[in-house]
Structure 1
């Protein structure tokens, strides 16, 4: 089953359907509708946050779900599925793939990435593991630990990774060039051209979030672009 899910992602678009508390589209019913719309548009998978959203999405959408659970811990900057507790909750909610922070930042309670992966393999052997990384070295380490997929999600979101407004297409190319583990391109992909370039650099699939599912941010982007023109008149 795992290999068939990964194969179904090949050369496809995965849509990240997430909204934070306080945002206009916050709510599991709205995220489920977003996922349904993405499926109708040709998406090959959904990325979703929280057990509640995952459950709601699985009820109306037939696509595989990459689940994550954002939680803050006082002793760690890692917040994407940081411990086995969050892993268990999203798997039990129906996610076929669990996405987790695979950066070198210290994890909560002094735990390790290798230890968390080992726990998942022991308790949920059918579940696929997606490593969210911010650098080439982290991607290589995740591959060596035996994850099923690697994503460039966190490039620019750790203090030591490349800080830029554009997607980190170079990182996509370097990791994909290893030809070891399928690499998903994610993070600040705003245009069709950027999406296409990720595939030219070897991306197995792309994950698009804000550019599709966060209308407030999309609106802000257009408003800023208008200001650049009108202020120059």
Structure 2
């Protein structure tokens, strides 16, 4: 489907429908059901991990706006969000409308070059890209290389930002001031309530991505039990 413009997306909610390895929630049918429930209740789109889950949601929700990624781990690199060309191709072939990829300054597996990957994605696939970044600088670089969407996804999750706690509100206003009007700016990571989502928009984000607080059954239950056990202990 054609990707909506920044103006059309303004104020929207993207639900990240993911589940950890080993969870019964990770079954493609369960992921697709959660995605459909999110869309039926007004979500602008969904963010999905793995070609299998992207394909399942595309089959069940043919008109959904899907941001796709593939988490892959390699011993020589800490980059794991759609790190290689093969992963980009697989996410696109599965039916994603936008491909999310790590756009930090970290070394990629096989020492792949971010600029070359972005250029190849545009030339060979014509794929819109979402840059998952951890800093203002990396967000601006990603946009200059051709990423149409920039998200604060990795703020607090890289070696350089490990001491910081998401949401990355502090990135949003400076990025919005310096990014082109055509680039969609997204706050993702650490959004735990409707109020924190609203704050992201107040800082200047166009869209908000919420995952665990909506679809993270495993982590939410564990968090409740940890708190209850502290009190009872």
What's the TM-score once normalised by structure 2's chain length?
Answer: 0.92
Displacement after TM superposition at 1:219 (Å):
2.0
Give distance in 2, aligned partners of 1:145 and 1:16.
25
Change in 2 beyond 3 A, CA 1:161/1:196: same
Question: How many residues were matched structurally?
Answer: 230
Question: In the aligned structure 2, how far is the partner of 1:199 from the partner of 1:220?
Answer: 29
Between the aligned partners of 2:109 and 2:166, the Cα distance in structure 1 is 30
CA contact (8 A) 1:9 1:45 kept: no
Contact 1:68 1:81 in 2 (8 A): yes
Q: Unmatched 5+ residue regions in structure 2?
A: none
Structure 1 residue 43 displacement after superposition: 0.2
Q: How do 1:151-166 and structure 2 match up within 5 A? A: 151-161=151-161, 163-166=163-166
4+ residue stretches of structure 1 with deviation over 6 A?
Answer: none
Q: Deviations over 1:72-114 (max 9, x none)?
A: 1222111100011011111111101000000000011111110
**CA RMSD of superposed structures (Å):** 1.8
User: Aligned with 2:81: secondary structure?
Assistant: coil
Flag structure 1 segments of 5+ consecutive residues without an equivalent. none
Structure 1, 15-24 or 47-56: larger mean CA deviation = 15-24
Point out which structure has higher relative CO (alpha carbons under 8 A, 6+ apart).
2
- TM superposition shift of 1:221: 2.8
Distance of 1:178 and 1:2 partners within structure 2:
26
Post-superposition shift, 1:179?
4.2
Instruction: Write the mapping of 1:1-233 to structure 2, written as runs, cut at 5 A.
Output: 2=2, 4=4, 6-61=6-61, 62-125=63-126, 127-161=127-161, 163-180=163-180, 181-226=183-228
Q: Do the aligned residues in 1 keep the contact of 2:155 with 2:165 (CA within 8 Å)?
A: no
- Provide TM-score, normalisation by structure 1: 0.92
Provide the C-alpha distance between the structure 2 equivalents of 1:229 and 1:50, rounded to a whole number of angstroms.
Answer: 38
Whole-angstrom distance in 2 between the partners of 1:40 and 1:4: 18
Query: Is the 8 Å Cα contact of residues 153 and 185 (structure 1) preserved in structure 2?
Result: yes
